[in-house]
Amino acid sequence: MSAWNSYIKGFKIYLQLERSLADNSVVAYMADVDKFERYFTQIFEPKKELKEIEYQDLQTFIAWIVDIGMGARSQARIVSGVKTFYKYLMLEGVVSVNASELLETPKLPKKLPDTLSIEDIDAIIDAIDRSTPEGERNVAIIEMLYGCGLRVTELVELKLSEIYWDDYFIRVIGKGNKQRIVPFNQHLEKHLKCYINEIRAHLPTIHFEYEDILFLNRRGKQLTRVMIFTIVKKYAEKAGLRKKISPHTFRHSFATHLIENGADLRAVQEMLGHESITTTEIYTHLDRKFLKETLELYHPMNK
């Protein structure tokens, strides 16, 4: 079964170089393909080479991952991984027929993301002690998470050279190294310039490799994703908010508030960096919920 190893190694290179996926995504895909390989080389009888696998065999694989207790979301991810693997095999000419083409992904219930109200966001910012250098920096972090709808990785990797002050936009490197332009307003500009000029400029030292990174710790090094999660959790608790809040909650709130106030869905898609409009459409469900609650609260017939 040594052929499996070479195909799997080639698939990893394909994901990294041709698809330009982030390390976490590559790891997830490889874990799914490892399960796929293990099933057909260790569990399935008779054992099969890749070229011998047919659609019916893939159905037994899906039945197996259900039997071992995989939930619908994990099943959907594994099916997606197998389909991507087969796309690679087709490109390389390893197989002439895509056996995964008819595989169906389990239907997942759409989980509406948690969001914050304007009052919640104000409460979090008010909970920050701005008399300290870290406090002023953390205000700028929260304002940018909410003001630009950034993913946490995009925030920690944002560079000073990617802020275009005259035009009021930032250039963001998102998933798959895709670039997008996100505007910002004068309110955020004020907080960013305060941090940059009053705090960042007076750090005792800034490590050479981080000279262009916007947000730094007191030792002049880049902040980590974990640090951002810790900052958000700390101030949400200080503000007395009981719901589970992460950096991504500000991204959801950014999108929800835009759509609630009439923003064009395509514009929100561009700012969020969603490849497909269907990903952004989840916020229209939030908007409908908001409209329904508004009707129930304010219409005279509901009194």
Model pLDDT, residue 198: 95
- DSSP letters of the chain? -HHHHHHHHHHHHIIIIIS---HHHHHHHHHHHHHHHHIIIIISSS---GGG--HHHHHHHHHHHHHTT--HHHHHHHHHHHHHHHHHHHHTTS-SS-TTTTPPPPP---PPPP---HHHHHHHHHTS-TTSHHHHHHHHHHHHHHHH---HHHHHT-BGGGEETTTTEEEEE-GGG-EEEEE--HHHHHHHHHIIIIIGGG-S---GGGTTBSSB-TTS-BPPHHHHHHHHHHHHHHTT--S---HHHHHHHHHHHHHHTT--HHHHHHHHT-SSHHHHTHHHHHHHHHHHHHHHHH-GGG-
The residue with greater pLDDT, 283 or 273, is 273
248 included as an active-site residue: yes
The CATH superfamily assigned to 118-297 is Intergrase catalytic core (1.10.443.10)
Model pLDDT, residue 153: 93
For residues 234 and 94, the model is more confident at 234
Residue 1 has pLDDT above 50, yes or no: no
* 225 flagged as catalytic: no
Which CATH class for the 2-91 domain?
mainly alpha
The question of whether 274 is a catalytic residue gets the answer yes
Per the annotation, the verdict on 283 as an active-site residue is yes
Per-residue pLDDT, averaged over 73-90, amounts to 88
How large is the average pLDDT for residues 165-170? Answer: 94
Kindly tell me if the per-residue pLDDT of 302 is higher than 80. Answer: no
Of 23-37, 186-200, 284-298, highest mean pLDDT = 186-200
Q: What is the pLDDT of residue 116?
A: 92
Catalytic choice (35, 151, 200, 257)? 151
CATH 1.10.443.10 domain residues, the chain: 118-297
| Domain limits, CATH 1.10.150, in the chain | 2-91
Is 252 an active-site residue? no
Average pLDDT of the chain is 87
Whether 168 has a pLDDT exceeding 70, the answer reads yes
Q: Is 151 assigned a catalytic role?
A: yes
Position 220 scores a pLDDT of 95
Q: For 107-142, what is each residue's pLDDT tens digit?
A: 655 666 688 999 999 999 999 999 999 999 999 999
Active-site option among 171, 175, 180, 233: 175
The active-site residue, picked from 35, 251, 252, 257, is 251
pLDDT at 205 (0 to 100): 94
Averaged over 155-175, what is the pLDDT?
94
